[in-house]
Structure 1
């Protein structure tokens, strides 16, 4: 993530400082002016602002200026999730306070969380991590350990029993995402995807596991959605919880495998700084470690990786389709179409070697 200094007189669009200060007064959260504002940029369109009030630093997260119909509900889910994680060992940014009321800050709900002392290894590596292959190897294992901790949370005890629809979760995946792909045809100038969708979807349907574990899922788990500690290999926090639900947590493992930078391969989907530095554990080591830490049967890990390639590829293709209609930048759309093609190629490779 990158930060930009903000003029405290004007704040940032979508965050009226006087309204924020008044709301914090009502919550009894520090006192005085809101100062030292920094706008935080990341992989999301949500607005994030770092600031100081009194003796304490805060991160504010709210929806974009032009939200989708589901934005506020998604943010309310994040608030509920972060509150539930407070009693678990899952590394996360601690929730300070939540405002589910849309009227306080420009028609968007928002919440405050603790700042994180960490870095995004998809973007940069500090000197310690860049210079030490052993540290990078242990970073890979730490990614799996953090995921295993999340996957084995007692979600019912955490108050999240109704947070998703786990029954029939795997059965719904292929039809759901084929429907999403079909919807892109409605966008102007979309030429079609040219991806081996039928081959992959038929293989997934034929080889679907009869059942998997039920647990808390991140939904978009990969290198870019964690923050690593600056002084070692461990994960400081998992971030970006928009897709979190109750389902089959093995799909999170599949997602990590689908985006994993294997040694001696040029098709790194994320083009991350960590991948560029090398020295990471193999995909097989990740699977073994996850099985050891969760106790789950990981014999179908390749199937979950293929499903993740299929699902993520279709999601990325959506941006390409929107770019063809002028609803997203053309260069971004083309880049994500290329990534979708890479993911489907990975899926075919896994199928061919199965």
Structure 2
């Protein structure tokens, strides 16, 4: 299996690390190399080689201070530590966290690198993945989310959030984030915000751990593509209604008939993958949970992803990042919100 799709590249201009200061701070030995993983639109992720060991460093993007409550490196490090304490093994070992901005100019943390394959939508069509492989992986991804939701949240994981009123706070919070970052009038976003506010489900009292960004490119697979070795990117992990997690995953879950923009999110459109409806049904079967309100959670996931794009586009428009990938994200906001409106009109995931 060619894992080149997740290889690190030279560090992008303006996102370099002070290697000498970092080496002194970590005290793990001489840093032999620093490169950058090019994927993702949120936090910046680097490969740090020290001797014969590889580490991963995560830091917020340039200009992230403008986003209140986002890109919390200390919290993500704490999540990994608490998951270790809870006996969950499918995570990288957390190594160090630094909140002294004199070191790299921002908070950051370092964890071990879990070797393996990360499948990304841009490269997946070139890998010749079989229908059987994708079918097995698709099922495994849903089952891994069910496994996460089955973790006991007492006594440690419960401290990661405030489950009471979780759905209401999420809807209100993401709507406020959108209004703060808004640069253009997108009527579909207004329509979705109104729907989410007025139609909140009231019959899901169960509380579980939530990853809140669960998708193919946030898991590390073994080289045979038969096993999930680790789950990554715990920045938004919390506790609350588990169907919020499923809805977010469905919002990334492109199907064969979806537009090219949505297909750029995930490799779920390749032959063999479950459909969104089949994902919801398998989750219901494996977890025993009622998913009759899943349309609401799916629409929330689309709205949330659109807000994230709006935030990133806003930073780009302000000149806080020069990454040209961000220039077209306003079109993404329009596209995802339009998908949400269509889902409400048709009643289909």
- Say yes or no: TM over 0.5: yes
Q: Is the 8 A contact 2:71 2:235 kept in 1?
A: no
Q: Is the 8 A contact 1:218 1:241 kept in 2?
A: yes
- Indicate whether 1:167 and 2:169 are aligned: no
Distance across 1 between alignment mates of 2:41 and 2:136: 27
Q: Is the 8 A contact 1:35 1:53 kept in 2?
A: yes
Other structure's SS at 2:37 match: strand
- Indicate whether 1:57 and 2:60 are aligned: no
Distance across 2 between alignment mates of 1:196 and 1:48: 30
Q: Is the 8 A contact 2:44 2:59 kept in 1?
A: yes
In structure 1, what is the equivalent of residue 79 of structure 2?
81
Alignment of 1:81-100 (within 5 A): 81-86=79-84, 87-89=86-88, 91-100=90-99
In structure 1, what is the equivalent of residue 19 of structure 2?
17
Cα 1:284–1:198 change in 2 (3 A) is closer
TM, length-normalised to structure 1: 0.81
Alignment of 1:42-191 (within 5 A): 42-68=39-65, 74-86=72-84, 87-89=86-88, 91-125=90-124, 130-157=128-155, 159-184=156-181, 187=183, 190=184
Deviations 1:59-91 (A, max 9, x none): 222233544155897100000011122243463
- Indicate whether 1:236 and 2:241 are aligned: no
Distance across 1 between alignment mates of 2:74 and 2:248: 24
Distance across 1 between alignment mates of 2:151 and 2:291: 18
- Indicate whether 1:311 and 2:313 are aligned: no
In structure 2, what is the equivalent of residue 4 of structure 1?
9
In structure 1, what is the equivalent of residue 220 of structure 2?
227
Q: Is the 8 A contact 1:218 1:245 kept in 2?
A: yes
Structure label with greater radius of gyration: 1
Displacement of 1:156 in angstroms is 2.5
Moved more, 342-351 or 142-151: 342-351
Q: Is the 8 A contact 2:48 2:56 kept in 1?
A: yes
Count matched residues.
339
In structure 1, what is the equivalent of residue 187 of structure 2?
194
TM, length-normalised to structure 2: 0.82
Alpha-carbon RMSD across the aligned residues, in angstroms, is 3.4
Distance across 1 between alignment mates of 2:70 and 2:158: 21
Distance across 2 between alignment mates of 1:284 and 1:90: 30
Displacement of 1:232 in angstroms is 1.7
Displacement of 1:272 in angstroms is 4.8
Other structure's SS at 1:77 match: helix
- Indicate whether 1:296 and 2:282 are aligned: no
Other structure's SS at 1:278 match: coil
Displacement of 1:37 in angstroms is 2.9
Displacement of 1:167 in angstroms is 0.6
Distance across 2 between alignment mates of 1:318 and 1:220: 16
Distance across 1 between alignment mates of 2:302 and 2:207: 21
Displacement of 1:45 in angstroms is 4.7
